[in-house]
Structure 1
Amino acid sequence: MSSIAQGAAAPKLGNPAVLGLAGFGLTTLLLQFHNLGLAGTGPVVWTGLIFGGLAQMIAGLQEQKCGNNFGYSAFTSFGAFWISLVFIFLGNKFEIFALSSTDLGYFLLAWALYTAILWVASARIHMAMFLTFTTLEIGFILLVLEKFGFGASLGWWAGVDLTVCALLAWYMMAHTIYRDLFGRDILPVGKPLVQ
């Protein structure tokens, strides 16, 4: 008889959120290093394509198997965001479907609107998730305003804000890993803002 027929427990599966949060946090952090003038576009392009893009999409598809619509939508969509952003960088570099600053502003505006939906939903998860999506939404808004010509300094402030966002994502990743390893919460994430 198979072990399932004998009533054996199913093998433990990893939490796909740790991969998704790792990819989102690391790639977002590298982009802010670029936006703040500390690094070139090379690390952003290659990491954005593989870790922020592909790995995050894989995490999102695994969240779908777990029945987590929030993680499914967020990780799969932001994986697609990173792949799109990489192709925008490459398209502008090689003048293939190049985007103007205004075009990029509308691209970011669409993502700000999508993020607003997840921001509302994040209030039902926990405070760390809500703060992550709050900083992400603020970052998108600042970048949109910059691209539409409301002040070049807004891009710098977006870089600072999104650095915090990236570190919050890693905080949640560490929370999940440590909770599994230690069997208790080592890093608190707070209660949901909306019960």
Structure 2
Amino acid sequence: MTEQKRANPAPLGLSGFALTTLVLSVYNAGLLSQGESAVLGLAAFYGGLAQLLAGILEWRAGNTFGYVAFFTYGAFWEWYFLTSMLGGAAAQGIGLVLIAFGIFTLVMWFGTFRSNLGLFMTFLLLWITFFLLGAGLMVNSTALVHAGGYVGILTAIAAWYTGLAAVVAEALGVSPPLGRPLMK
């Protein structure tokens, strides 16, 4: 009896993360100033629910790193959705949460040292994004928030490339370059 082939959940998780991060980062960078609520549906469903599902599927596949990463960032997007919908959260409180996620992401980044360069860059850029945004909110600095938005855009590009490279590899039998691991 052979085991049925299962889809790789990582491209779904990375794509949900990337698209939601890109849209919010455009606003954080100050490139758009109206319609920011457009990110809320993405945060609830594509950034949130899709990543939670990807995390559960990574758990079923026995991938602890993928499980922890996707489930945590899915929960982050659900937190963002609820915090935005309920309102009333002080900027400093949100900044503190972002810095805490930056610390978590920094630790997770160490887990990418034996992975490909695409994942390494995604986590590197993400912890920088969280720290810039968090610090910007803590000290009320538009410049830091804008810088965090721009780094967030780069984060989204790195995540999308990394996730979609797996889709292209499977669909076309061509492996886009993802770079070698830093450590063996």
What TM-score comes out, normalization by structure 1 length? 0.89
Residue 180 (1) aligns with residue 182 (2): no
For 2:107 and 2:82, the matched residues in 1 are separated by 25
- Aligned mate of 1:80, from 66, 75, 78: 75
- 1:55 and 2:50 are equivalent in the alignment: yes
**Equivalent-residue separation in structure 1 for 2:99 and 2:109 (angstroms):** 15
5 Å matches for 1:62-77? Answer: 62-77=57-72
For 2:71 and 2:79, the matched residues in 1 are separated by 12
- Alignment deviations for residues 54-113 of structure 1 (CA, whole Å, 9 cap, x no partner): 111000000001111111000011000000011111121xxxxx2111111111111111
Match of residue 145 from structure 2:
155
The CA deviation at 1:34 is 2.2
Determine if contact 2:118/2:179 at 8 Å carries over to the other structure: yes
- Is the aligned partner of 1:190 residue 2:179? yes
Say if 2:135 is the partner of 1:145: yes
Shift in alpha-carbon separation, 1:42–1:55, aligned structure 2, 3 A: same
Taking every aligned residue pair, what percent have the same amino acid on both sides? 34
Shift of 1:182: 2.5
SS at match of 1:122: coil
Deviation at 1:10, TM superposition (A): 2.1
Aligned length: 182
Q: 1:164, 1:115 → 2: CA distance?
A: 16
Shift of 1:43: 1.5
Gap regions ≥5 residues in structure 1: 93-97
Please give the alpha-carbon distance, in whole angstroms, between the structure 2 residues aligned to 1:155 and 1:140.
10
- The structural deviation recorded for 1:33 is 2.1
CA RMSD of aligned residues (A): 1.2
Larger radius of gyration: 1
Offset of residue 29 of structure 1: 0.6
Listed one character per residue, the Cα deviations across residues 107-153 of structure 1 (whole Å, up to 9, x for unaligned) are 11111111011111111111111111111011011112101216321
Partner residue in 2 for 1:46:
41
Quote how far apart the aligned CAs of 1:44 are: 0.7
Q: Does 1:132 align with 2:125?
A: no
Residues of 2 paired with 1:21 and 1:170: CA distance? 6
Q: For 1:184 and 1:26, locate their aligned partners in 2 and report how far apart those are by CA, in whole Å.
A: 23
Which shifted more, 32-41 or 60-69?
Answer: 32-41
Which of 1 and 2 has higher RCO (CA within 8 Å, sep 6+)? Answer: 2
Match of 2:26 among 22, 33, 39: 33
Question: Tell me, which stretches of 5 or more residues in structure 2 are unaligned?
Answer: none
Q: Tell whether the 8 Å contact from 2:15 to 2:164 is kept in structure 1 after alignment.
A: no
1 CA distance for matches of 2:26 and 2:117?
A: 26
- Give the structure 1 partner of residue 158 of structure 2: 168
The amino acid of 2:126's aligned partner reads L
